[in-house]
Amino acid sequence: MGRSILSIIFGSRSPTADDLLAFAPVVEAPAAPVRVETGEERAERDRLEALYKDEGRIEVDTPHPTNEHGQWFLPGAGKTEWFRDIEQGPELVLVPSGRFLQGAPNDEPQREAWEVGAESPQHETTIPKPFAIGRAAVTRGEFKAFVAATGHDAGTLRSHGFAQDDSHPIVGVSWKDATAYVEWLAKIARKPYRLPSEAEWEYAARAGTTTPFWWGASITPNQANYDGTHVYEGGGEAGAHRKGTVPVLEFEANPWGLYQVHGNVWEWCADKWHRGYWEKKDHLKASGGPQVNGNSGHVLRGGSWNDGPQFLRAASRSRLYADIRLGNFGFRVARTLA
């Protein structure tokens, strides 16, 4: 009598239960039934969608909303609602479309403190569509996730002579570092991340205000992180010079929910440097887009922990070469909405 297939496979040894299971046919579990939306649920969803649209809300495709309305956000309501697209990514708020006067008026105290003509002439700029922008500057913790994932030059995480933790802004980043970060973020989140244009930056920083600082015409170290040993000529008083960064969510957010647009770190923008707005093209005034042609260097906005108060004004502009890293340079991200 011929040998059984089992004896051939297992020899003289009797097969165990585990042996037999190894040759058992694989039976896939039945797929879970797809739940079909009921007519009542669909009607309620349509009702809420119509209501949110009437309120001016925009639906944002994001997996991590902080919002009682789910993925429906009201531009300008960033004090109470924001989102992030990846777990270790920056939080963003929505900025409404609109118009504003970019630059400094002729009577603003200490205007053009860095370079004569840099903030002139004041002119109307249009932001034609809502967009998303970082609730705060990118933090060390957020940037470390990028470095861990890509191996990007970790020299950006070195000490700069003052204490920092993951809640502080990343500093010592060049324009090239900031650009690499937003390109990585766009790739893994599959969303159109970028650096903001300086027009978008100033528009979001002002949040509908026209004064040198979003809260008014004067400034003290209780409102922002800068060299408080200097007093702004427009008003204020002397105070502390903290000599380093503070966590990005310290101090009060502006009316649209952005933190520390004045002070803590200079923030890179997408624009190439151009000396003032004398030759600004009409299409840039109409779109709020970045100046992609210009002189050497890229634009920085906002002032830092190591600057006097005049450099923290909303209209203030500075520049440096794209590969320079300093301990008071950081950035915040922007994202185009679909």
* 187-235 confidence digits (pLDDT tens): 999 999 999 999 999 999 999 999 999 999 999 999 999 999 999 999 9
pTM recorded for the entire structure: 0.88
* 13-30 confidence digits (pLDDT tens): 544 544 444 444 545 556
Answer yes or no: is pLDDT of 156 > 90. Answer: no
Residue 307 CB partners (closer than 8 Å, separation 6+): 226, 227, 263, 328
Q: What is the mean pLDDT of residues 126-142?
A: 98
User: Which residue blocks in the chain are alpha helix, DSSP H?
Assistant: 5-10, 17-22, 39-54, 140-150, 175-189, 198-206, 282-287
Mean pLDDT, the chain, rounded, equals 91
Q: What is the mean pLDDT of residues 267-275?
A: 96
Q: What is the mean pLDDT of residues 23-48?
A: 72
Instruction: Say what the pLDDT of residue 295 is.
Output: 74
- Crossing angle of the two packed helices 140-150 and 175-189, in degrees rounded to 10: 70
Instruction: Say what the pLDDT of residue 231 is.
Output: 98
Token pair 């929505």 in the structure block, residue: 94
User: Which residue blocks in 251-298 are alpha helix, DSSP H?
Assistant: 282-287
Q: What is the mean pLDDT of residues 101-120?
A: 96
